[in-house]
Structure 1
Amino acid sequence: MSGLFTTTKIDSHLDGLFKQSAGKSEIAVKPLLPEKVFADIEKKKKKQEKKEGNKAFLGFKKAKELLAASLKRKAEELAEKEEPEKKKIKKLTEEEKLEKEQRTVFLGNVPVACIEKGGYKQLKSKFKECGKIESIRFRSVAFSEPMDRKSAFLARKLHSSRDVLNAYIVFEQKESVAKAVELNGTVFMDKHVRVDSAVNNKVHDRKRSVFLGGLPFDAEEEELWEHFKECGQIEFVRIIRDAKTNVGKGFGYVQFKERDDVDAALANEKKFRNKTKIRVQRCKIPVSEGGVPDKKPKKKGGKKMPAKKPSGKSGKPLPAPKRFEGTRATKDDGSKFKLVKTSKKKVLAKKKQGKK
């Protein structure tokens, strides 16, 4: 043991090598970075974020442009499809309007069921015999709700108490109108249909017509056809209605084919709906059509109205002069005395004589 702790000879060569070494190593410490380095790092981060933001914005912008282009393309396609329809509804000139009206007939007292598919086919088939039909339009439809007429028509919001309407049929040829007018008064779907030309220049013959007053507001044309059918052959029946609500105004007209039938209608004492007495009168003929002007009623006895009494300065009427001679006649008196009119001058003259 003692030999282990004994000193030995040191190798000088090795000792020299160790002495020339760097010495003991120190613990590695992370160097502190200056503020400039941190600023550069933040700047790089912001630049990167901005770059990414720009990239996202450009992507969004590109997507927006693509969407706009797609919508524009679709709009152009729709416009191309709608161009033929726009051509159909273009504004017509006055000559074109007149030419179209000459090919059009008016239908009155048409069953409201004709707006449905089945009734529409029956109506078209009925008048197709007169010629090729260009279009059919329905008018004077009574709706149950106060809304846009087009929307109410599409939604079929029809009034339950009004079962008829009016219509216009446009034919392709003018000659078809004359054939269609011959169907006036024919029964179609249990209704007497009125057929007339849209440009009818025929003067209404008031000598063959009667005026009807005191009609119920819910009266229908078909009821009047039934009420006056025994008086003679009816040409048409018309009830005057409100333009917006299509509710009757309480009066109308019936035109017969013969003038003699008017007397029968005036003598008809049958009550409407077996409870209402309607007023039936001759239609007045205007002076422009050869009628006689109404005479002004004469005053009783043909005497003029008494003039107004003169008034004084205060505006009050002056008292009437007193009668000094004669007496006022009454019914009880046997014989009437003749009244003598006196004037102010005579009264004043008598007063002056009395003073003297």
Structure 2
Amino acid sequence: MLSSILTSGKQTKNQINDLFSKQIEIIEKQVESKSKNNVDLEDDNEQGLKQTQEDKEQMDADRIRRTLFVGNVSINAKKNDIRKVFTQYGEIEKVWFRSIPVDRATKKENVKLPVRAAVLMGKIQEGAQSQNCYILFKDAKSAKSATQQDGQLFMNLHLRCTLEGQKKKDHIKTAFVGNLPFDIEEEEVRKAFEEAFGQINYVRVIKDPYRHVGKGFGYVSFNEFQSLKKALQAQTIEIKGREVRIKKAAETTKREGKELNNAKNAFQRIQKKQQFSQKGKRPRKNTQNKEQTQNKQEKQQFRVQIHKKIQKMKKKRYNPKEIKEQINNIKTQRKTQVKDTNIFNQY
């Protein structure tokens, strides 16, 4: 009886082990198939992301070609007014305003007040006359043809029309203007220069994008080279009681070179920040001279060594454990002395 029971128990154990091994094999096969499917899905996702990025880049490039920048637009102009002027060149998808000079006092009073709400409430900076505008056309050809409005009067202001992503390269007839009043408008500069030197192609006063106030310099492009010569010979002109400096504008290639250098530096900074976020180490500035860096490192190491030595000396002098042991030793010595005296007194 016992032998039959034991044999039957062994058989059941073997059957159970076989079942477990079969189940493990099935699970392993399922896991392998899932991992393969996941790998395929990851590859598909990577390809999809690359395609979406390329599509976005193409869309952005197409959008830039179809966008027209319009500067020196009247502050009282509305979207319908701009559509009326520019619909003759083609269909317009969108019109929006930028660099709206909102009053700074309202921003202090209402910190959370958005620009759009401030514009709707009519809280615009006093003395401000102009703003910038962008027009998105359906075709790139219509955006190109719309540049014909450059220099035309619109609501008593001369418009500056350029394609988005393209800059004016007429540096031969352009003068750099410095020491301008901060509250000056482009029309005032145009009037002063036209009266003194001749006809003007365009005027651009550089403004702070946050405060919407002039930075004190700008550019004046003349229609004729002789008028530019007159301006350069004069060297200065008085506008609003200030002597405005006149110099030859730098070539666009030099300015573009500076911009490219700035862009490269910015790209390098972004890469370093990404490395810092991945590794958790702070990026260090690359010094040109390796000797200087070595000397600095040696000095730092020497300072660290001195600091460690001083700490060891302090621990030796003011170690509380050693002081406690010394006190306990003194106490035990005193106790032994007292016992000896008591024994001596007994005799």
Q: TM-score, normalised by structure 1?
A: 0.50
* Deviations, residues 184-206 of structure 1 (Å, cap 9, x unaligned): 00111110111111131x56333
* Deviations, residues 223-281 of structure 1 (Å, cap 9, x unaligned): 111111242332221111111111111111111233332112224565213x3221111
Select 1:101's aligned residue among 59, 64, 86: 64
* 1:248 counterpart letter in structure 2: G
Q: Distance in 1 between matches of 2:253 and 2:154?
A: 38
Max Rg structure: 1
Q: Which structure dedicates a bigger proportion of its chain to helix?
A: 2
Q: What residue in structure 2 maps to residue 208 of structure 1?
A: 173
Select 1:125's aligned residue among 68, 79, 84: 84
Asked whether the equivalents of residues 171 and 252 of structure 2 are also in contact (C-alpha less than 8 Å), the reply is: no
How many residues align? The count is 194
| Residue 189 of structure 2 is aligned to residue 224 of structure 1 | yes
Q: Distance in 1 between matches of 2:157 and 2:252?
A: 32
Q: How far off its partner does 1:288 sit?
A: 4.9
SS state at 1:98 partner: helix
* 1:156 counterpart letter in structure 2: G
Q: Distance in 2 between matches of 1:288 and 1:279?
A: 21
Q: Distance in 1 between matches of 2:93 and 2:131?
A: 20
Q: Distance in 2 between matches of 1:168 and 1:179?
A: 15
Q: What residue in structure 1 maps to residue 98 of structure 2?
A: 139
Q: Distance in 1 between matches of 2:56 and 2:126?
A: 39
Distance 1:161 1:280, change over 3 A: same
User: Tell me, which stretches of 5 or more residues in structure 1 are unaligned?
Assistant: 1-91, 292-356
Q: How does 1:47-62 map to 2 (within 5 A)?
A: none
Q: How does 1:162-241 map to 2 (within 5 A)?
A: 162-200=128-166, 204-230=169-195, 231-241=197-207
SS state at 1:99 partner: helix
Q: Distance in 2 between matches of 1:163 and 1:216?
A: 15
SS state at 1:93 partner: helix
Q: How far off its partner does 1:287 sit?
A: 7.8
Distance 1:176 1:287, change over 3 A: closer
Q: How far off its partner does 1:137 sit?
A: 0.6
Distance 1:154 1:193, change over 3 A: same
Aligned Cα RMSD in Å? Answer: 2.4
Q: What residue in structure 1 maps to residue 277 of structure 2?
A: none
Distance 1:125 1:277, change over 3 A: same
| Residue 98 of structure 2 is aligned to residue 112 of structure 1 | no
Distance 1:271 1:136, change over 3 A: same
Q: What residue in structure 2 maps to residue 278 of structure 1?
A: 244
| Residue 192 of structure 2 is aligned to residue 242 of structure 1 | no
SS state at 1:138 partner: strand
- State, as a whole percentage, how many aligned pairs show the same letter: 33
Q: Distance in 1 between matches of 2:138 and 2:150?
A: 20
User: Tell me, which stretches of 5 or more residues in structure 2 are unaligned?
Assistant: 1-54, 108-112, 258-347
Select 2:118's aligned residue among 152, 157, 162: 152
Q: Distance in 2 between matches of 1:93 and 1:285?
A: 33
Q: Distance in 2 between matches of 1:288 and 1:281?
A: 16
Asked whether the equivalents of residues 70 and 162 of structure 2 are also in contact (C-alpha less than 8 Å), the reply is: yes
Q: TM-score, normalised by structure 2?
A: 0.52
Q: How far off its partner does 1:176 sit?
A: 0.8
Asked whether the equivalents of residues 169 and 252 of structure 2 are also in contact (C-alpha less than 8 Å), the reply is: no
Q: How far off its partner does 1:153 sit?
A: 2.7
Q: Distance in 2 between matches of 1:187 and 1:111?
A: 10
Q: What residue in structure 2 maps to residue 329 of structure 1?
A: none
SS state at 1:271 partner: strand
SS state at 2:238 partner: coil
Distance 1:104 1:151, change over 3 A: same
Q: Distance in 2 between matches of 1:285 and 1:170?
A: 30
Distance 1:103 1:286, change over 3 A: closer
